[in-house]
Chain A
Amino acid sequence: MIMMSNRDEPDRSNPEDRLADFEKRLSARLESRNAEDRKYDRPRQGWAIGLRYGTEFMVGVLVGAAIGYLIDRVFDTLPFGLLIGTLLGFGAGTMNVVRAAKELSECASRDN
């Protein structure tokens, strides 16, 4: 112990220093532990995120096409409403994915 004290380690006999030292060691330990945990968290989150993007996009296209088809049924303009609806649905699906990605990156930056 006497040999080690020439590094600028706090005086162990002083209770306040000991507490501060403990806090420092504890936070370092916690940090490494959390980093370890995050490594294991990643794959399962990736899987969930992938599924989320998939449904968001698919549903956008389907709803767009459905609305276009309904407009066709009401106004009797069969191919055009469906075509425009699908195109707009494609846009809506893309926007859903972009929104989802934005939400997720906000969550990620808050966690770190």
Chain B
Amino acid sequence: MADTNPIKQFEIHEVAPLEIAGLNLAFTNSAFFMLLATVSVTLLMALATNKRALVPGRGQSIAEILYGFVADMVRSSAGNEGLRFFPFVFTLFIFILAGNMFGMFPYLPLPIPGVDNHGFTITSHIIVTLTLSMMVMAIVVGFGVYKNGFKFLKLFVPAGVPPILYIIVTPIEVISFLSRPISLSVRLFANMLAGHILLKVFAGFIVMLGAAGAAWGIVGILPFAMVIGLTALEFLVAFLQAYVFAILTCIYLNDALHPAH
């Protein structure tokens, strides 16, 4: 019987082993999909913009719409000043979006023989999403301190509070700040993980029913319809989560620019 294990899709395989100073730095299928996302986005953008037509063609329109979409997002939540972070936010958004979309292939084998092949979603691993959100937090803290100095700490001392309450309010603000990278990464990771498991569980039902006998195979239409619906939903989630990640990045960057809210 076919393999219907719904969490096999999250397995990491070494493609090219590499060990430096006792650290396992092998090139894995996860790294391959990250590279695929980066290279394909770079190629798309380079091809779309190399003509620089005054009246954009189809490719250039895609690039311009993406640019306008992210620029509007940055401007509306971090102001014009926030546009200096546009390259960072755009890279984050497009990388997560491309990673999510490549994850939507149910089967996308690596072009390397002899490796256990299956599709892979880079954002379904918390180490990837946590690294991205830690990058955001490093920039927020780094730039906030660089631009505002000690005034950055005003973030933890909101104005208009009776002084005695700072004993409670400041720790709460600190915890709230520290919870940001975790909520940012957990939301993306949990959405992708849960969605893809659900998709594969229902797809597994089709195979199981098909293997159970001719009459059961007809019942398999039901999970098949479910898989179609879930796939559409997952495409939506793939876009929505990339959008949410990017817009929250903008909101946090706004705190770095204007710490006293």
B interface, CB within 8 angstroms of A: 76, 168, 171-173, 175-176, 178-179, 182-183, 186-187, 190-191, 236, 240, 244, 251
Residue of B nearest to A49 (CB): B244
Q: Which residues of A65-112 have CB atoms within 8 Å of chain B's CB atoms?
A: 67, 85, 88-89, 91-93, 95-96, 99, 103, 110
With A55-B190, A91-B168 already in contact, the answer to whether A64 and B183 are too (CB < 8 A) is no
With A51-B191, A95-B176 already in contact, the answer to whether A63 and B168 are too (CB < 8 A) is no
Q: Is A52 part of the binding interface, using a Cβ–Cβ cutoff of 8 Å?
A: yes
Q: Could you list some 23 contacts between A and B, CB below 8 A? A: A44-B240, A48-B240, A51-B187, A52-B187, A52-B244, A56-B179, A56-B183, A59-B179, A59-B186, A60-B179, A60-B183, A62-B179, A62-B182, A64-B175, A67-B178, A88-B175, A91-B175, A92-B172, A92-B173, A93-B179, A95-B172, A96-B183, A99-B176
Task: Add 8 more A-B contacts to A91-B172, A95-B176 (CB < 8 A).
Answer: A44-B240, A60-B176, A60-B179, A63-B182, A64-B175, A85-B175, A96-B183, A103-B251
Q: Which residues of A contact B190 (CB under 8 A)?
A: 55
How long is the Cα–Cα vector from A56 to B181 in the complex, in angstroms? 11
How long is the Cα–Cα vector from A51 to B190 in the complex, in angstroms? 10
Are B244 and A88 in touch, CB under 8 angstroms?
Answer: no
Are B176 and A96 in touch, CB under 8 angstroms?
Answer: yes
How long is the Cα–Cα vector from A85 to B182 in the complex, in angstroms? 17
How long is the Cα–Cα vector from A93 to B179 in the complex, in angstroms? 9
Quote the shortest CB–CB distance from B124 to chain A (angstroms).
Answer: 16
**How many contacts between A and B, using CB within 8 angstroms?**
56
How long is the Cα–Cα vector from A110 to B72 in the complex, in angstroms? 13
How long is the Cα–Cα vector from A52 to B183 in the complex, in angstroms? 9
Which of B168, B172, B175, B187 is most buried by chain A, counting CB atoms within 10 A of its CB? B175
How long is the Cα–Cα vector from A26 to B132 in the complex, in angstroms? 44
Are B186 and A55 in touch, CB under 8 angstroms?
Answer: yes
Which of B168, B173, B178, B240 is most buried by chain A, counting CB atoms within 10 A of its CB? B178
How long is the Cα–Cα vector from A51 to B171 in the complex, in angstroms? 25
How long is the Cα–Cα vector from A59 to B184 in the complex, in angstroms? 10
Q: Which residues of B contact A52 (CB under 8 A)?
A: 187, 244
Quote the shortest CB–CB distance from A64 to chain B (angstroms).
Answer: 5
Quote the shortest CB–CB distance from A47 to chain B (angstroms).
Answer: 9
Are A63 and B179 in touch, CB under 8 angstroms?
Answer: yes
Q: Which residues of B contact A91 (CB under 8 A)?
A: 168, 172, 175
